A and B are shown apart, each in its own frame.
Chain A
C-alpha cells in the first residue's frame, strides 16, 4: 500500500529531487502531508481530494500519509498536487504498479480535476532529465518548457487523461512543436524607425548595443527617453541557444513565461517602477525568487527616474553590475541568479526637471539639486559607460522624416560585436596621447579613462576599423557624464 512519484522542487534556479510517498493503512480515514510543506502545499489535500473525485476516480477511505522526502527541504507551492494525486492513486491500486516508472510529475490540480501550469516547469524538467527520467506528466501549457529540457512531456488537460495514459489506455498527445516564431517575436519589438530625429541618441543606443555598455539618459521629462530605451532590445542580437535557455529558465521560475511559448530568443526588457523593493529588483523572499535584475538577464534593465529609486535598491544593483550574478543567502542555503543585464537609467538634471529645457525655468535651489544628485553614488555613476544629455527636441525635429529601422542597425551591431570578440583593437599612439590630454583637461578619473577607452573601442569596431584612432576617442569623450553631474 505504498507508492512513490518523483517531482522536483526549486531552490533558486536549481531543481532538487523530491520523492512523493503515499502510504495507505487501515484506520480512521484521514489525510496528512508531512515533510516541511508550506501552506500552499498543505492545501494540496483539498485540491487533490476534489480533483480525484472529479476525475471519477476513488478517494481511498483509509488513513493516508503523504511524505515529501527529503523531509528537511522546505517545499513551497502547488506543483506537488499532481505527484501527490498520482502517488495516492498508485497506492490505492488505481494505477498499475510500474506505471510511474521513468516518469516525473509537476503541476497543480483544479477542483474539477483539470491540470494548471505552475512556474518553473523548465527547471523541474531539467531535474527530471538529470535524474534519468524520460517523461514528465504535466499540464498542456507546460509541455513546451518540458520539451526544451529534453524530457518528453506527457501533456494532459485533465487528471483523468493523465491516468488513462498511465494505465496504457491512450497515447500521450503528440508534443506541440515549439513556436518557431523567434524572428517574428523580434519583429514585434518596438522599432527604431518610429523615432523621429534624435540622431545623437540613436547613435548612443547603437554604440551601447554593440559594446554592451550601460547607458544613462539625462534630460527633462517627456523627451522620449523611455521610447528610446524600449528600442534597445530590438537592435541587440537575438539570444544564442545557451543564453536563450538560461533566460527561459529564469523566466520559467519567475512565472513570467507566456503559456505555450518556446525559448526566449528576444533579449528581455524589464522596467520596474521606482517604488519596487530591493527584493523585487535584485531578488529575494523566503524561498529566493529571481528579481527584475535577473529577469533582465541578457537583456535590458530600464530604471526610469534613477534618483527616485531608494538608495539601498541602487546599491544592491552594484553586485550584479559587477559580477553579473545575484547571490541570495538564506539559512537553508544560497541561491545564485544570473543577472548580466545592460542597464539603462534616466534622470533629470534637477528635481523639478526644468534644467536643460530652454523653454522652462528651473526653480530648484542648489542644495536641492545637490541632494538629488547625491542619491546616485559615484560608484554607480561610474558604471555608466555612456552618459547622454538629451535636451528637449524642437518642433522641426519631431516633424522630421522617419529614420533607419532596428533591423538595419542590428546588422551593424552584429558585425561590431563579431569584431570586438575577434580582435584586440590596439589604440593608436596619437589617440592615446589625446586621451591623456583629455584626462587632465577634463579631470577624468582613472575609471573615466578606462570607460572612455572601452567606448572608443566599440566605436572603432562599429566603424569597421582595426584600431582605435583619434576620432573614436573624441567621440567617446562626448559621452562622458556632464559636469553638472560630476561637480
Chain B
C-alpha cells in the first residue's frame, strides 16, 4: 500500500519513480504521509487511485516491464473496461485533414464494434481519435501531466466529454506540470493499455513512433495507416511499413487483428438523388466546392446544401474548404 506514497513523493520531487527509493528523504516523507487524508482529498476532487498491486489494475499494463506504481483516474467508468479489447490510435499533432479524418472514422468504427480506443489527448490525431470514438461510445485518454490538469488547455471540453463515460488516466499525481520528458513516459502507458497500436501519421522523428517502439518492445501488434509517399507526415509511418508493420486499410483489419467479430456492416442508406450525385463526386477524389460544381453540373447553392447535409450524415468531412468522402 505504499505505491500512493511513492506517486505523491515523485510528484513533489518532480521525479519519475517506479520503485520505492531507499533514501532517508523518502522514509521521512512516507512517515509523515497521511494516505487516508490524501485519498479523501482525491475523492473530493472526483478522482481515484488504483495501485499497481490492486486487483483492478489493468493486467495488460501490469505486464509491461516498467509499469507505473499506479494510476490516478478521472471519470466514473469501471476500470474493468480496460480489460476489453483495446486499440491505441496515435499520430502527429500537426496532422493533415486526411489523417484527422482517418483517425476519426477508424476510432468511430472500432468503438462501435466494442473496442476501447486509447490515446493521449494531444492535438491532431489523438484528439481526432477521441472525438471519433466518442461519436460511437467511449474512449480512454492517458495524460502526460497531473491528472487534474487539462493539457492542452484547448482540449478541456474534450476531456470532460471523455470523463463522462470513459476514463482519463495518469500516473502523475494532481499538480504535476507537463514536461517534455513526461510524454514519452506517458506513451508507454498508452501502448501498454492497448493490444494493438495504430499509427496514423508520423513524421520521421515523431512521438508516435516512440509509442510504436514501446508497443513492439512489449510484443504488441503495431499497425500503420499508409499515407502519401510524398508527404513529410508519412515518412515515419511508411518507415514502419517497410519494417513489416501491418497496413490498415479499414477498421475490419484492426478488428481481425484483435480477434473481434464485427457486427455485419449495415448497408449504407440509399441517398436521395440530389445528394447521391454530389456524394459520388466527392468519393471519386477529395475536392473543393468549385470542383464539385464542375463535376456535377449543379448550381453552387445546391452543391453547398448537399455537402452540408452529407456532412451532417457523417458521409463527408471538410477541412479548409476541401471535402473528402469518409472511409466506408
Contact = CB atoms under 8 A, between A and B. Distances in A.
B308 A482 contact: no
B319 A203 contact: no
Contacts of A199: 289-290, 293, 300
Given A202-B300, A474-B305, A475-B301, A484 B319 contact: yes
A389 B321 contact: yes
B111 to A, nearest CB: 17
B232 interface: yes
B320 A349 contact: yes
B163 interface: no
A441 B312 contact: yes
A355 interface: yes
A483 B319 contact: yes
A42 B311 CA distance: 68
Nearest to A471: B305
Interface in A357-396: 358, 361-362, 364-366, 370, 388-391, 393-394
Nearest to A485: B320
A484 B320 contact: yes
A487 interface: yes
B304 interface: yes
Most interface-central of B232, B304, B309, B320 (chain A CB within 10 A): B320
Contacts of A470: 309
Contacts of A397: 290, 294
Contacts of B303: 200
A361 B235 CA distance: 14
A200 B300 contact: yes
A438 interface: yes
B320 A200 contact: no
A124 to B, nearest CB: 48
Contact of A391 (B93, B300, B304, B321): B321
B62 interface: no
Contact of B293 (A200, A358, A459): A200
A437 interface: yes
Nearest to A369: B94
A471 B275 CA distance: 11
A438 B309 CA distance: 9
Contacts of B309: 470, 474
A391 B290 CA distance: 10
A477 interface: yes
Q: How large is the interface on A (under 10, 10 to 19, 20 to 34, 35 or more residues)?
A: 35 or more
A219 B289 CA distance: 14
B288 interface: yes
A394 B287 CA distance: 11
B322 interface: yes
Contacts of B299: 203
B290 A459 contact: no
B307 interface: yes
Contacts of B293: 199-200
Interface string A409-435: 000000000000000000000000010
B128 to A, nearest CB: 10
B305 A370 contact: no
B307 A478 contact: yes
Interface string A347-361: 001000001101001
A214 to B, nearest CB: 18
Nearest to A469: B305
Most interface-central of A349, A442, A474 (chain B CB within 10 A): A474
Contacts of A477: 308, 311-312
Nearest to B307: A478
Most interface-central of B154, B290, B309 (chain A CB within 10 A): B290
Given A478-B305, A482-B319, A438 B290 contact: no
A354 to B, nearest CB: 11
B205 to A, nearest CB: 15
Contacts of B182: none
A438 B304 contact: no
Interface string B77-118: 000000000000000011000000000000000000000000
B30 interface: no
7 contacts: A200-B300, A219-B320, A358-B322, A364-B94, A470-B309, A471-B305, A475-B302
Given A199-B289, A364-B94, A389-B320, 14 more contacts: A199-B290, A199-B293, A200-B288, A203-B301, A362-B94, A388-B321, A389-B318, A434-B312, A441-B312, A459-B301, A475-B302, A478-B311, A479-B304, A482-B318
Ranked nearest first, the 8 interchain pairs of A and B with the lowest CB-CB distance are A389-B321, A356-B320, A203-B300, A475-B305, A478-B304, A477-B308, A474-B305, A200-B289
Interface of A: 197-200, 202-203, 218-219, 349, 355-356, 358, 361-362, 364-366, 370, 388-391, 393-394, 397, 434, 437-438, 441-442, 459, 462-463, 470-472, 474-475, 477-479, 482-484, 487
